[in-house]
Structure 1
Amino acid sequence: MVLAIRAENLKVGYASEEGYVIWATRGVNLEVSEGEALCLVGESGCGKSTIASAIAGVLPPHSITEGRLWIFDRLVIDGPRHRFNGVRGRTVSLIPQNPGTSLNPFITVEDHFYYIVRELHKLNREGARKTALEHLRMVGLNSDVLDKYPHQLSGGMQQRVLIAIALASGARIVVADEPTSSVDANLRAQILALINKLRKELKLTLLLITHDMLSTASVCDKIAVMYAGKIVEVGSTQAVLNKPYHPYTRMLLESIPVLGSKKPLKPLPGEPPSLLEDFSRCPFRDRCPFRADVCEKEPPLVPVNGTGKPHYTMCWRFKEVIEHG
């Protein structure tokens, strides 16, 4: 098994004006095998997009990092040192979450491709145009799109252009940061189906960032659930959706509306903890119905036995969670 992505105790933070560090992620451990699709899910502000930026090599210059990150066998983050030259845009490509702000309004779609592939593949204008046409067809767009500016395209078409640009880089890993956040429900399903189809055809490794857990079922092999900068559960998609071992995962699923279901929704009580808090205890403790004295200590990410596939949870009382049903 070849690991495409491996994070080891990865922390990403930002210095405040007062001089202390606000950690957006706090010791993330993650493995994604080559050709695998992993979905990273959780509420807004939990650190999902920070992980996406770290893996894609596009963290802001003022970010502070600890831990290590490998892209295949290349160590790209080693404590405070970053080594993304030759990896960013070549081995890893990013599909940003907002096409309206990611595409340059002053240049055509063809120019977007040209400015990227001329650097990556040393192509001239004609070669760049051929590459653009090839990848636009992959995402269901025709040659008419080449001469258009972003504002002349619908939101769904803009998102398809971003997917095509990401694929044109020739990257082996695609990081999709909430690629359906700006489209309606019908287009959301189409975009996810397209990403999944291309991922399989091109044998890509996919990291999909989303807050919509149920949409991951048809796309991802594994799900990692984030809360307050930590991965609190990770396992196969079916295992996590059908038998979650962490109370946050369970409560997150219970709060999602399902079309046609008569089951009452159970909104998550309380608020996520401030990133300024001391996380020496379980970060979910104050919102958890299963909390006990042992939760005053932060639990490790431990394997769950008997699931058949690797399944981990960060909970002292995961047995009680399962027994509760």
Structure 2
Amino acid sequence: MAGTVLSVKDLKLYFKTRKGTVKAVDGVGFELRKGETLAIVGESGCGKTSLARAIIRLLPRNVEKFEGTVMLNGTDVMRLSEEEFRKRVRWQKISYVFQGSQNALNPVLKVGFQIAEPLIVHKGLSREEALAEAKKYLRLVGIHESFLDRYPFELSGGMRQRAVIAMALITHPDVVILDEPTSALDVITQANIMNLLKRIKQEMNISYIFITHDVPLTSELADRVAVMYAGQIVELADADDFYTSPKHPYSEKLMASVPTLRTDKKLEFIPGAPPSLINPPPGCRFHPRCPFAYERCLREEPPQYNIKGASFVKCWLYVEGKR
């Protein structure tokens, strides 16, 4: 792996609702290297999917604030108009595997056409040329080309997920966002999809952003792990370091809740509930649930504390040398 393909700095995405402004993504920053998988983990509602949709700019109408820097191969795509972004970036350079393949596929269009459509729209290929290419990608993801003429309801859940992956890969993007691609699948099918993603990563040297709340699943694919809490990334670390020695108290609690096969440990849980993104707590947003919180945590938001390389943790315990 070498070179940075995607660099995100101070990205904010706020939504306007009747109850107030939801700060779904609040000052997020990270880098994604060529051929790397960055796993983004955290509890439901912490802003993982909002972050992904902000990067690919698939946004609802109630956006109140959308700002920051998203550098893709050295170009700040946030400066592009919606039309320029649609033509030059979305599905050309960044594609998306949606959570729930049944909802991602049009039920009245054949699977083959849906896989081929990005080539027709973005590459200018004829229908026949695009369908011929779609056959190759069906084979790549382990589906017989005869399924080109099937409708989505004629495929199993695992086959539909493979078809959605083929659709995301067909334009040879630099980055593929995987939004919980196995959450609706049984364990065996889940393992097959993960093996498929690992093989494709090696063959195509592609970069993944892998979003999930299933921490053990990330160990199958991740090179680095980013932990999100209440709209912010509170820890970013190499995968090996994260699984063996998480730094942030929230990360520690996440890992302590995961059962292991080879060690006998007492499982823990995180007390309380995730905070409201309309009125997040002052200071460190985890302090109401943190067993190590002290006075400064309640008043001041912690800065990023660099551990090594591109790894960091947002916690006063490290800033003040208490750890």
Residues 215-246 of structure 1 show CA distances to partners (whole Å, capped at 9, x for unaligned) of 11231110000000000000100101111110
Shift in Å, 1:96 = 0.6
Counterpart Cα distance in 2 of 1:197 and 1:60: 34
Structure 2 residue runs without a partner (length 5+): none
Question: What is the DSSP-based 3-state SS (H/G/I as helix, E as strand, rest coil) of the residue aligned with 1:84?
Answer: helix
When residues 220 and 322 of structure 1 are mapped into structure 2, their CA distance, relative to the original with a 3 A threshold, is: farther
Aligned length: 318
When residues 115 and 229 of structure 1 are mapped into structure 2, their CA distance, relative to the original with a 3 A threshold, is: same
Counterpart Cα distance in 2 of 1:161 and 1:322: 50
2:244 alignment partner AA? N
Residues 13-33 of structure 1 show CA distances to partners (whole Å, capped at 9, x for unaligned) of 111236x42110110011111
Residues 2-60 of structure 1 show CA distances to partners (whole Å, capped at 9, x for unaligned) of 32111111110111236x42110110011111221110111110110011111223122
Structure 1 residue runs without a partner (length 5+): none
Counterpart Cα distance in 2 of 1:143 and 1:321: 59
Shift in Å, 1:61 = 3.8
2:65 counterpart of 1:73? no
- Structural RMSD (CA): 2.1
Quick one: which of 191, 195, 198 aligns to 1:196? 198
2:22 counterpart of 1:22? yes
Match in the other structure for 2:260: 258
TM-score (norm 2): 0.92
Counterpart Cα distance in 1 of 2:25 and 2:215: 20
Match in the other structure for 2:128: 126
Shift in Å, 1:263 = 2.2
Match in the other structure for 1:59: 59
Question: What is the DSSP-based 3-state SS (H/G/I as helix, E as strand, rest coil) of the residue aligned with 1:317?
Answer: helix
Counterpart Cα distance in 1 of 2:149 and 2:259: 41
Shift in Å, 1:318 = 4.0
Which residues of 2 match residues 1-325 of structure 1 at below 5 A?
2-17=3-18, 20-63=20-63, 64-77=65-78, 84-85=85-86, 86-259=88-261, 262-296=264-298, 297-304=300-307, 309-318=309-318
Q: Sequence identity, in percent?
A: 36
2:302 alignment partner AA? P
Shift in Å, 1:116 = 2.3
Residues 186-210 of structure 1 show CA distances to partners (whole Å, capped at 9, x for unaligned) of 2212211211210121011111111
Counterpart Cα distance in 2 of 1:201 and 1:114: 21
1:146 alignment partner AA? L
Counterpart Cα distance in 2 of 1:148 and 1:139: 16
2:237 alignment partner AA? G
Counterpart Cα distance in 1 of 2:106 and 2:263: 42
Contact 2:302–2:316 (CA under 8 A) maintained in structure 1: yes
